[in-house]
């Protein structure tokens, strides 16, 4: 079947050459650039993440939408454009892609839309901070991230520090199980809680090496089992924030958001920024460290996976 989506896709030459030669490539989202941090820290972090991937043997492919074109791989100038524009660049998930492409607009990709574009480009590994999931109070609001549905059907492995701490982590894990998404703990038997190494939620699979994770990915897709894999990589111990302290900040941030009537796609950026204020900037520092840690592991898995396929 012809993939007409490729008509809208531009693959950066370095990324295209690496894919053509079956070399390791790691995708990166752009919401973290436009919405995750203030300028210029967002741009500096994005470049550091790309450099970390290179240092560990893989090619980075930051993903975004520019003038309606899906981009797999960004130049430093394009990263700076997104970082400087910040929240003026729309946050784009699966539902938003047709409009942004048709209207030839810029877009910052979420986990879901990054997975879609990565799969179209032929990229199997993706490093991010934390995935979206089931929001607290979802039994009333039905606020469940499209990231979970994408993990259920798109053949890309996502390395993250678990799900974002603002979420209901237990329900998020249950949802992933229902959808048949393998959740692999990297040297952990608990789901990381983003800023914290432990959530108290047990994982079935504790994998010790990048090479072993690559073997699981290879087996899954060769078995014809469509969908992604979540690789849960705890934040390094020296950078974590104590779980109870994070929960207190999250509870306060949610109360503040409810009082202001903030909902939908605006809720996550608001909560992350409010938590940064409540933790005196510690959450932002932890966020940067965990993203770099995830980029390192994703590059190592991508190299191992390239060796066996």
Helices then strands, each counted (H, E), the chain: 13, 11
Which residue is associated with the tokens 């500096």?
44
Query: For the whole model, what pTM was predicted?
Result: 0.93
pLDDT in the model for residue 296: 98
79-113 pLDDT per residue, tens: 999 999 999 999 999 999 999 999 999 999 999 99
Q: Read out DSSP for 213-243?
A: HHHHHHHHHHTT--S-EEEE-PPPGGG---H
Domain boundaries in the chain? Answer: 4-308
pLDDT in the model for residue 3: 64
Q: Which residues contact 1 (CB under 8 A, 6 or more apart)?
A: none
- Rounded Cα distance between 242 and 108, Å, is 31
pLDDT in the model for residue 1: 46
Q: Which residues contact 76 (CB under 8 A, 6 or more apart)?
A: 47
- Rounded Cα distance between 109 and 114, Å, is 5
The CATH class given to the 4-308 domain equals: alpha beta
115 contacts 153 by C-beta, under 8 angstroms: no
Determine whether 29 is an active site residue.
yes
278-306 pLDDT per residue, tens: 988 888 899 999 999 999 999 999 999 99
What are the C-alpha distances in Å from 241 to residues 126, 219, 300?
Answer: 24, 35, 26
Residue of 16, 29, 119, 150 marked catalytic: 29
Q: Read out DSSP for 6-31?
A: GGGEEE-HHHHHHHHTT--EEEE-SH
- Rounded Cα distance between 184 and 186, Å, is 6
23-50 pLDDT per residue, tens: 999 999 999 999 888 899 999 999 999 9
- Rounded Cα distance between 24 and 309, Å, is 11
Determine whether 164 is an active site residue.
yes
Helix (H) / strand (E) element for 185: namely strand 183-186
Residue of 71, 124, 164, 296 marked catalytic: 164
Q: Is the pLDDT of residue 129 over 90?
A: yes
For residue 37, which of 279, 282, 269 has the smallest C-alpha distance? Answer: 269
């Amino acid at each position: 079947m012809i993939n007409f989506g490729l008509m809208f896709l531009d693959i950066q030459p370095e990324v295209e050459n690496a894919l053509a030669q079956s070399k390791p490539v790691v995708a990166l989202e752009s919401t973290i650039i436009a919405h995750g941090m203030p300028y210029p820290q967002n741009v500096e972090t994005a470049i550091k993440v790309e450099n970390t991937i290179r240092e560990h043997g893989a090619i980075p492919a930051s993903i975004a939408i520019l003038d309606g074109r899906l981009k797999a791989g960004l130049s430093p100038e394009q990263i700076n454009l997104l970082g400087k524009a910040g929240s003026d660049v729309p946050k784009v998930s699966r539902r938003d892609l047709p409009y942004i492409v048709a209207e030839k607009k810029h877009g910052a990709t979420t986990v879901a839309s990054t997975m879609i574009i990565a799969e179209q480009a032929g990229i199997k590994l993706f490093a991010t901070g934390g995935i979206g999931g089931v929001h607290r109070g979802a039994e009333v609001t039905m606020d469940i991230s499209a990231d979970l549905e994408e993990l259920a059907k798109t053949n890309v492995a996502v390395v993250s520090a678990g799900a974002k701490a603002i979420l209901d982590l237990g329900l998020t894990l249950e949802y992933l199980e229902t959808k048949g998404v393998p959740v692999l703990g990297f040297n952990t038997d608990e789901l990381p809680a983003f800023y914290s190494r432990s959530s108290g939620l047990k994982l079935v699979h504790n994998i010790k090496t990048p090479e072993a994770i690559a073997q699981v990915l290879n087996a899954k897709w060769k078995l014809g089992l469509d969908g992604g894999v979540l690789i849960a990589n705890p934040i390094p111990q020296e950078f974590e924030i104590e779980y109870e302290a994070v929960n207190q900040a999250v509870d306060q941030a949610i109360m503040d958001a409810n009082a202001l009537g903030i909902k939908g796609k605006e809720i996550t950026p608001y909560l992350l920024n409010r938590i940064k204020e409540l933790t005196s900037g510690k959450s932002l520092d932890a966020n940067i460290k965990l993203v770099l840690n995830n980029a390192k592991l994703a590059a190592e898995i991508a190299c191992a996976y390239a060796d066996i396929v």
